[in-house]
Amino acid sequence: MFPRRALARRYTATALVLGLLSTPTSAAWAGDRHPAPSRGRPAVTRVPSTAGSSTPLAGYGVQSTAKVGDSASAVSSPGYPMAGWHPAGPHSTVLGALLDDGVYADPFHSTNLKEIARSDFQVPWWYRSDFTVEDTARRTFLDFSGVVSAADVYVNGRQVASAQDVTGAYTHHELDITSLVRSGTNTVAFRVRPNDPDKDLTMGWLDWLQPPPDRNMGIVRDVLVRRSGPVALRDAHVTGRLAVPSLATADLTVKARARNDSGAAVTAEISGSVAGTAFSRTVPLAAHETKTVTFSPADVSGLHLDSPKVWWPAGMGGQPLYDLDLTAGVAGATSDTAHQRFGIRDVQAPLNSDGARQYLINGRRLLVKGGGWSPDEFLRWDRGYAEDRLRYAVDLGLNTIRLEGHLEPDEFFDLADRYGVLTLPGWECCDKWEGEVNPSGSGQKWTEADHVVAKASMAAEAARLRGHPSVLSFLIGSDAAPNAAIEKDYLDALGAADWTAPVVPAASENSSPRLGRSGMKMTGPYDWVPPGYWYAKREGGATGFNSETSAGPSIPTLDTLRRMMTPAELDTLWKDPGARQYHRSPSSVFGTLKIYDDALAARYGSPTGLTDYVRKAQLAQYENVRAQFEAYGRGATDPDRPATGVIHWMFNSGWTSLHWQLTDRYLDQNGSYFGAKKANEPLHVQYSYDNRSVVVVNNRTAPERDLTVRATLFDPDGTPRYDRTVNGVAVNGDGAHTAPLTLPSSVSGPARTHLLRLVLTDADGTEVSRNVYWLSTEPDTLDWNGTTWYYTPTTHSADLSGLASMARVQVSATATTTSSGGTSTTTVTVRHASDGSTPALLTDVHLVDAQGRPVLPVRWSDNEVSLWPGESATLTATYRTADLHGSAPGVRVSGWNTPERTVPAR
């Protein structure tokens, strides 16, 4: 995750939504909770006899081997008593199960996580589950991946696989258990071994958060029981070739492996349909023979599509999907079935003339705007929670999520396809995955067995992800690129899987022997820099493709802070910049907030209390995240070293954090969130910190004409100092920009802090974008020569202390709520209700319940708005009615210079 030059410091002791929110898709929104399994024995899974059925185990009982004295044969036999065992969900780490069972206090609060003994997880743990089968005539298989780190597998008292074979979080396994299955109750048991990310090709947390004491040992994906007849269908998939740029036609090729699992020769009828076209073929198979069956436009004319339904990222078009259905029949009876949902799209990623990776989707240039994804720290999968976060990504105007390791279950990619969120999956840095090629990392060198596991992992993930149109690329390296041997294994596995998306050797500037240059940079920053930093075409500034970068800390709202920290910890938070912050990072580099806090005090003035600290933090985060995305947006069509992509590090955190997040653990939205949302508006007016130009960026497809831009500079008390309007502004689409005016280098008056209000209106006079900046006559000065791998020092700070002199002003609010079909919409009108000339800066509106608690998740049309005297703004909040928990909604209004008040929203 960090540049190669920095890694030596990290591992030593000394230095180191699219549309409306829908009704819930899971049992409960899991902002700070996950649906717990039922107490006692886990549910018994009923496995049907239907050929082609694929049934996930419903859950497990888990227990430490230190507390189980019985033999593996006894533990894995039906009827074994599980007194004292803990229930676990269908995919759960050990600690995740124990947390859901109430064994430990809330790990997201204070330092509770530190109190969990690591020694409890240094021995294997049993996972045990029962399933029932009525018909033993079918063949039965266990199909799974997601074992962290390795497991011995038993069925009905017999070992069917050893940990030597079932190893690695991403390897896929299919075990034939037909001979062991009996009518009635059957038992499967996994003896899961402890995980060590530096020794095992699994997953770790680097410096993202305080690592879980169990290091995520467990089973984190579904274990399926599959039934079939004599012939099984495997590896069914569709590859497509889309005509670009016309998009007029697409050629589809269907492939699957037909495997005869019987000891006699058979003739199978392989039939299927896709895109309204049916096809079939007779395939003779010798005993235990496997053949690849292919259907292409050469033999099935209907697989040549005219006017195909093309999949687009959100904001560029729709997200239509197709379905492939296959059946293998033997002697007139169904033997197996297969299904795949896929999308038709074309992705190219050439290097531009500057050597930067430039993505093209369906022939159109794409500026990647994304964030780094974190799963739940304990890898507890909750579809509803994942869906809420992906809706947030769309709401923010992002088009991409990067997954550095922690490759989520299939449902995640199904959701990404549905919402039009592109994904950049890849292997993680610095631990065992880079142990062979990253001398500055902590990962151990590879053995021959590790090479086998790595190639098998690549093959399994390629087969799992290839049909998802949301998958933009696969990064086979992160901080380091693979060497020739590892690269060959990866590329061979990808080729064998018919992988069609681009493959990138690293998220850093490193190269690999066959793929060559990555076209990406990993130059930071990861800690605070001023907003003007992003406009420089150097380091992490807006040029090329920056695979992970941000200004570091992102202080949550007061609501979240009070949930995650004790009063004493909150006191230290604002009083002591040099204090170690448990909720920041285990890294010695990122253990404190000193760089951030020093900048906050230098630019805005020293905090006078917790509320003042958080208030100033929201302004700082809003201006900085906005500048990051605005700079890359403006630079996307530059003729000189254009910006091609930026991944905000990170999109979210897996626990309660003080850094690297656009949305917090509980899905509350702070200044970082709304700064990103403002910057990524479809049609947007913005200020340039480097040359004072006012720029209109058009992220819509079509060009815009007859726009009007107005720029007004004010003193903090509202005294106007400059006002200019430009009419007849035109700008092309697909990220083009134009600069209709430039602000003067100075204005009259003694103020050293100014407010800049930008307003963009269309030909009808309707306001389509409003943007407010707080600027200083004394700019931030950067020490570029002092740049480290994680930030560039500031030698002189902008003076924004004039904001402290702004008079308190009243903002009135009225709100009404309507509800339908499980969704509620609250409409809020906020109005500057005070006399005088002082504006209301960064007015925040929070939806709350009767107890004053935030109602989350919520999608705001806009928020953190600034109002001048007499101005008003109407905002809408859309959310699930159930998240009110029967309470009447209210609206809490506050701001930089606005007293807090709450009004009803019935």
What are the catalytic residues?
479, 548
Amino acid letter, 87 = P
Instruction: Identify the bridge partners of residue 603 per DSSP, sorted by sequence position.
Output: none
Instruction: Enumerate helices (H) and strands (E) in the chain, giving the number of each.
Output: 12, 51
Cis peptide bond N-terminal to 53, omega within 30: no
DSSP type of residue 351: B
Would you state the structure tokens that stand for residue 494, as one six-digit string? 């990808």
* C-beta contacts of 48-51 below 8 A and 24+ residues apart: 48/227, 49/133, 49/134, 49/135, 49/137, 49/138, 49/227, 50/227, 51/138, 51/227, 51/228, 51/229, 51/333, 51/334, 51/335, 51/336, 51/337
- Determine the length of the chain: 906
Using alpha carbons only, how large is the chain's radius of gyration in Å? 28
How far is 5 from 65, CA to CA, in rounded Å? 42
Task: Please list, in sequence order, all residues whose beta carbon lies within 8 angstroms of the beta carbon of residue 313, skipping any fewer than 6 positions away.
Answer: 361, 366, 399, 400, 420, 421, 422
Amino acid letter, 582 = Y
Closest to 813 in 3D by CA, of 762, 856, 863: 863
How far is 450 from 178, CA to CA, in rounded Å? 30
3-class DSSP assignment, residue 722: strand
* β-bridge pairing 890-895 and 898-904: antiparallel
How far is 779 from 775, CA to CA, in rounded Å? 8
Contact yes or no for 641/544 (Cβ under 8 A): yes
Closest to 206 in 3D by CA, of 365, 531, 433: 433
Say how many Å lie between the first and final Cα of the chain, rounded. 47
In order, the DSSP letters of 244-308 are TTT--EEEEEEEEEEEE-SSS-EEEEEEEEETTEEEEEEEEE-TT-EEEEEE-TTT-GGGEEES-
Instruction: Tell me the H-state helices in 396-524.
Output: 410-419, 448-465, 484-496
Residue 437: C-alpha distances to residues 442, 476, 483, 549 (Å): 11, 12, 7, 23
Instruction: Identify the bridge partners of residue 756 per DSSP, sorted by sequence position.
Output: 713, 773
Place of tokens 């005539």: 137
Task: Please list, in sequence order, all residues whose beta carbon lies within 8 angstroms of the beta carbon of residue 246, skipping any fewer than 6 positions away.
Answer: none
Say how many CA atoms lie within 13 Å of 628 toward its Cβ. Answer: 37
Residue 586, Cβ density class (10 Å: 0-12 exposed, 13-18 middle, ≥19 buried):
middle
DSSP type of residue 558: H
Closest to 696 in 3D by CA, of 628, 642, 630, 641: 630
Backbone φ, ψ for residue 842 (5° rounding): 50, 65
How far is 133 from 179, CA to CA, in rounded Å? 13
